């Protein structure tokens, strides 16, 4: 009895402090919060103005406000309002209602999209949860204070009115930003159970901003990570892409591993990280990704997934060559298809990304040949630049000679005459290495001629019958 009582008390203490429901926010003026209005996109401002003209409340919310307070230009802007999705659509010139689990409105300004949501209620008949406690449907609308209590972290529950330049803070989010602290609203265990992806989001935000995750918010993550297995793979992949393209991918991955989430998110990720070569290759790729984002370059999801799955492709490639007797390019093609068929079901990778990944992998085999007309076709391939960068990563892990990377760099930049010289040199080298490889293969064949094949039983050699000659072609004198 006493042990049960102690366990119950310990369980209650581990839940962490609850957040009091606050109906009246703290209102900060522009002099108090210091947001630069010049950093607010005109599209977000116009979306709010259109709703204000019709008598609705409308505020910029979420990560955009957090970034504005940190003096960073937000990548995306979200708007929250008391207008229903249908009312939002009528108030905007170009808008479309999306989503089933959460109905949202996308307000479009050319290629720029402002996501507009209606204030969510705390509870209601329209909120449905699955057996694990995950919210699967939520279209019950409520008041602004309820919407604030429903948000995940205090720093994401801030509302900025671009018209008055006032900031509305229900849960001390402004103080948490100043303290560089990430804190969950409500009981962390319950909030993670409602949406397990919040654990990934906590890791990403903390790593990206250099914030410290509050102890009560962080404590349940390792033991609740398995809930991520109940999340649709499409959502996991979407969140993983956000994590890898936030500009702090290396820090995010390290934090994921610290919290033990890598195994729950993607088993293949855990497998890659457990192998020295796989870990080194992936970390180098993420470092380069962070560097590209830092200078404003775009990142291809197919390149990231291609990097993640490449160690598996290499394993199958070798297996197909050594054990199935396939040619080099045929073995690579088969390996690529096998990995894509196996992993894309789990990862829910879009078809166009799958095609790009296949091209990226196949070009690795072509980049290793450097002979004949194929070299010219390679540099004109639309995925050549990505394939070259991929090969460069492979050279940094010691799997491709640096001279090969230099050769392609010179070939891509050279004129017709210099390219012809490079191909001639590559052909001489290929003959030399080919002769050495054939001699090595013959030695291996001679050494293993009497070996028992895999499976334990020696294969019986079939005697070849002499081919019978046609009667019409027998030499004279034979009968």
Q: Which of 259, 251, 176, 254 is nearest to 225 (CA)?
A: 259
DSSP assignments along 90-148, one per residue: HHSSSEEEE-SSS-EEEEEETTEEEEEEEPBPSS-TT-EE-TTS-EEE---B--HHHHH
Q: Which of 10-14, 194-198, 370-374 has the lowest mean pLDDT?
A: 10-14
Supply the pLDDT for residue 470.
Answer: 47
Strand segments, DSSP code E, in 153-248 are 158-161, 166-169, 181-182, 212-213
Residue 237, φ and ψ in degrees, nearest 5:
-65, -40
Number of domains in the chain: 2
Cα–Cα distance measured from residue 161 to residue 59, given in angstroms and rounded to the nearest whole number:
5
Domain for residue 141, yes or no?
yes
Residues 175 and 310 in one domain: no
Distances (CA, A) of 336 to 58, 311, 339, 382, 398: 49, 11, 5, 19, 21
Q: Is pLDDT at 295 greater than 80 in this prediction?
A: yes
Instruction: Provide mean pLDDT across the span 336-347.
Output: 84
Catalytic residue positions, numbered: 76, 78, 152
Question: Residue 91's CB: how many other CB atoms inside 10 A?
Answer: 23
Q: Per-residue confidence at 427, pLDDT binned at 50, 70, 90?
A: confident
Residue-wise pLDDT for 267-290, tens only, equals: 777 778 777 788 889 999 999 999
Supply the pLDDT for residue 472.
Answer: 45
CATH at 55: 3.30.460.10
Supply the pLDDT for residue 116.
Answer: 97
Q: Answer with the one of 132, 147, 179 that is the final residue of a domain.
A: 179
- Cβ contacts of 251 within 8 Å, gap of 6 or more: 207, 208
Cα–Cα distance measured from residue 99 to residue 117, given in angstroms and rounded to the nearest whole number:
11
Domain for residue 403, yes or no?
yes
Domain that holds residue 403: 301-443
Residue-wise pLDDT for 442-462, tens only, equals: 454 555 444 443 334 444 444
Supply the pLDDT for residue 130.
Answer: 58
Q: Answer with the one of 149, 179, 209 that is the final residue of a domain.
A: 179
Residue 153 per-residue DSSP state: B
Question: Residue 450's CB: how many other CB atoms inside 10 A?
Answer: 7
Q: Which of 214, 269, 218 is nearest to 241 (CA)?
A: 269
Domain for residue 4, yes or no?
no
CATH at 308: 1.10.3090.10
Distance of CA 324 to the CA centre of its chain: 33
Domain for residue 221, yes or no?
no
Domain for residue 361, yes or no?
yes
The token pair at 393 is: 């990563």
pTM of the model: 0.76
Q: Is pLDDT at 124 greater than 60 in this prediction?
A: no
Domain for residue 314, yes or no?
yes
Q: Per-residue confidence at 137, pLDDT binned at 50, 70, 90?
A: low
Mean pLDDT of the residues in the chain: 84
CB 105 within 8 A of CB 95: yes
Q: Which of 319, 300, 323 is nearest to 311 (CA)?
A: 319
The H or E element containing residue 189 is helix 188-194
CB 172 within 8 A of CB 153: no
Distances (CA, A) of 230 to 235, 264, 344, 430: 11, 10, 17, 51
Decide: residue 403, CB within 10 A, 0-12 exposed, 13-18 middle, 19+ buried: exposed
Q: Answer with the one of 179, 213, 246 that is the final residue of a domain.
A: 179
Domain for residue 285, yes or no?
no
Domain for residue 291, yes or no?
no
CB 265 within 8 A of CB 276: no
Residues 163 and 310 in one domain: no
């Amino acid at each position: 009895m006493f042990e049960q009582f102690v366990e119950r008390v310990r369980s209650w203490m581990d839940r962490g402090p609850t957040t009091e429901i606050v109906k009246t926010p703290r209102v900060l003026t522009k002099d108090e919060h210091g947001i630069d209005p010049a950093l607010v996109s005109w599209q977000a401002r116009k979306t709010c103005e259109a709703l204000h003209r019709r008598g609705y409340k409308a505020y910029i919310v979420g990560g955009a406000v957090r970034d504005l307070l940190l003096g960073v230009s937000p990548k995306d802007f979200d708007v929250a309002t008391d207008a229903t999705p249908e009312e939002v659509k009528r108030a905007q010139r170009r808008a479309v209602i999306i989503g089933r689990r959460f109905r949202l409105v996308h307000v479009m300004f050319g290629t720029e999209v402002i996501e507009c949501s209606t204030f969510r209620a705390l509870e209601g008949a329209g909120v449905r949860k699955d057996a694990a406690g995950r919210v699967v449907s939520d279209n019950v609308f409520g008041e602004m204070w309820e919407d604030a209590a429903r948000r995940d972290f205090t720093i994401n529950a801030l509302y900025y009115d671009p018209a008055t330049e006032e900031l509305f803070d229900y849960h001390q989010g402004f103080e948490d930003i100043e303290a560089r602290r990430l804190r969950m609203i409500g009981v962390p265990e319950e909030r993670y159970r409602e949406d397990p992806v919040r654990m990934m989001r906590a890791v990403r935000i903390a790593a990206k901003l250099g914030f410290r995750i509050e102890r009560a918010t962080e404590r349940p993550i390792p033991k609740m990570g398995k809930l991520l297995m109940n999340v649709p793979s499409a959502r996991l992949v979407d969140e993983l892409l956000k994590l890898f393209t936030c500009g702090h991918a290396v820090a995010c991955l390290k934090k994921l591993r610290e919290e033990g989430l890598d195994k729950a998110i993607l088993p293949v990720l855990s497998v890659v990280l457990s192998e020295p070569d796989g870990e080194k290759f992936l970390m180098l790729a993420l470092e380069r990704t962070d560097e590209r984002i830092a200078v404003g370059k775009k990142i291809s999801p197919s390149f990231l997934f291609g990097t993640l799955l490449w160690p598996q492709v290499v394993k199958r490639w070798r297996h197909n060559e050594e054990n199935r007797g396939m040619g080099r390019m045929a073995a690579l093609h088969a390996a690529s298809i096998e990995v894509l068929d196996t992993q894309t079901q789990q990862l829910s990778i879009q078809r166009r990304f799958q095609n790009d990944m296949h091209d990226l992998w196949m070009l690795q085999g072509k980049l290793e040949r450097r002979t004949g007309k194929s070299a010219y076709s390679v540099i004109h391939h639309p995925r050549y630049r990505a394939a070259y960068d991929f090969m460069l990563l492979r050279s940094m892990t010691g799997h491709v000679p640096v001279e090969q990377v230099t050769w392609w760099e010179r070939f891509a930049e050279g004129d017709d005459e210099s390219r012809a010289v490079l191909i001639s040199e590559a052909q001489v080298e290929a003959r030399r290495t080919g002769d050495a490889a054939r001699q090595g293969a013959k030695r291996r064949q001679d050494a293993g001629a009497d070996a028992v094949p895999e499976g334990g039983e020696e294969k019986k050699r079939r005697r070849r019958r002499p081919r019978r000659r046609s009667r019409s072609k027998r030499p004279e004198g034979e009968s």
